[in-house]
Amino acid sequence: MAALTRNDPTVRFSRDNMQAYLCLPSPELEGYSPSYVQDVLQRSGVVYGIKENKIQEMIDMQIYNQEILIAEGDLPRDGVDGYYEYKFDMNFSKKPKVRPDGSVDYWSIKMVEMVTEGQVIAVYHKAIQGRDGMDLRGKPVLAKRGRDLVPLRGKGFERSEDGVTYTSLMDGKIDMSGERIVILPVYEINGDVDLSIGNIDFRGDVIVHGSLCSGVTVKATGTVTVDGIVEGANIEAGKDVVLRSGVMGASRASITSKGNISAKFFEYTRVHANGTIQADVFLNCQVSCGESIILDGKKASIIGGEVGAIQSIMVNTLGSDGEVKTQVRIGNGPAVLRRIGVLKNKIQVEKANLAKIEEGLKLLQDLKNDPRRTDLLRVKIRDTALLAGDTAELEKLENQIERAKGGCVRVNGNVYPGVKVEIDELQVLVKEKQRHLEFVRESGKIHMCALEA
């Protein structure tokens, strides 16, 4: 045991109890022994991670009156959660890019990510488990545990026995929603579709790397993409339609989509989309749109025909020098408002009838074999279905009315005489050439507001 000293050795802990620092005062007579220092540390609470070589070094080199790191705990090593590494593009643009010169590049649209049979679509990296630590007082410091993810769900692919590799079972289009992956077949035609190929009716996506000739009909539950010109053909898509070159419809073409539609141009074509329509030119077309119509290319124009959208229309040129009759419409016409009124009355009557049926069933509840009760049950089922259908239609139309609020027709260039603009049940006829206008509804009238050039 060393001789008594003027001051006792001191031990200082870090806040997390993972480090301890020892200070040995200068001894008056004899020095310190390793056992004495060990005893000091243990009485201070240091029972783990002691650096015995440091104790000996401080004694041998007579390191006094300064703090030396004398003990160090083991920090925990957190685990790493498992994760998927996807081998296909999930972040592609579904909207065309605008070139520096103002033109629109419809070839930049990517609607479909393709995979081939046997292609690895995902690799799972398993969780790495952590390692617990220990502080200087011998107390365990728990590490974060690495968590494994559940296997990918979906169809069109298989998982390896070790649960690491996911491989496509077919050539097709890959879609991902949340943690669910679906690979579906794609009907791909490397050339034109004409009468020799015939009509196409496909459950999935259709991609045509040529043109659609007159008289052909293409139906798909998914997306339809056509690289070449669409002539007097018909397209019906359950999702989006992408026409990279446009439509020369000759008053025989019809394009219908439950999603969005984009094309370089439309001529003499009937067009309807539940979503948004984006193009450069509408020439003598009949167009209806559930959301907005955007013509934002350098030569974007609507000339002739009738073009309508629920929310808004944006275009550079509206009409033409020849004062071609051109009609654009946003919002909802009188027919929609009338239909809403009819549905409200019809629903009220249906609810009253169902209430009477319920009363009749209560009176006959103990007569299960009574034919009157059976007839009432049949009528109840029928009227309940009618009420559900009418209620859904009313909700849809009321939502359509709500979405139309605040809509406008915005013209960034010229507006020519012969143009008629309708907003809901209101209309205004342009009688002289003007520039940079926005047509909006205010106080029961259509106002033509000047835009900043």
Give the bridge partners for 317, in sequence order.
Answer: 301
**How far apart (Å, rounded) are the C-alpha atoms in residues 415 and 429?**
11
- Among 96-100, 169-173, 329-333, the minimum mean pLDDT is found in 96-100
Q: What is the pLDDT of residues 196-234, one digit of tens each?
A: 888 888 888 899 999 999 999 999 998 999 999 999 999
Return the amino acid letter for 42: Q
Return the amino acid letter for 416: Y
9: closest CA among 44, 50, 46?
44
Q: What is the pLDDT of residues 96-125, one digit of tens each?
A: 777 777 666 665 666 668 888 899 999 999
Tokens of 117: 């049979």
111: closest CA among 256, 231, 263, 313?
263
Domains and CATH numbers, the chain: 10-72 (no CATH), 83-184 (no CATH), 188-333+406-450 (no CATH), 334-404 (1.10.287)
278: closest CA among 314, 326, 231, 239?
314
233: closest CA among 217, 221, 220?
217
Tokens of 337: 């408002």
**How far apart (Å, rounded) are the C-alpha atoms in residues 364 and 375?**
11
Tokens of 139: 């107390």
2: closest CA among 33, 24, 34?
33
**How far apart (Å, rounded) are the C-alpha atoms in residues 193 and 206?**
11
- Statement: residue 321 has pLDDT above 50: yes
pTM of the model: 0.63
pLDDT category of residue 278 using cuts at 50, 70 and 90: very high
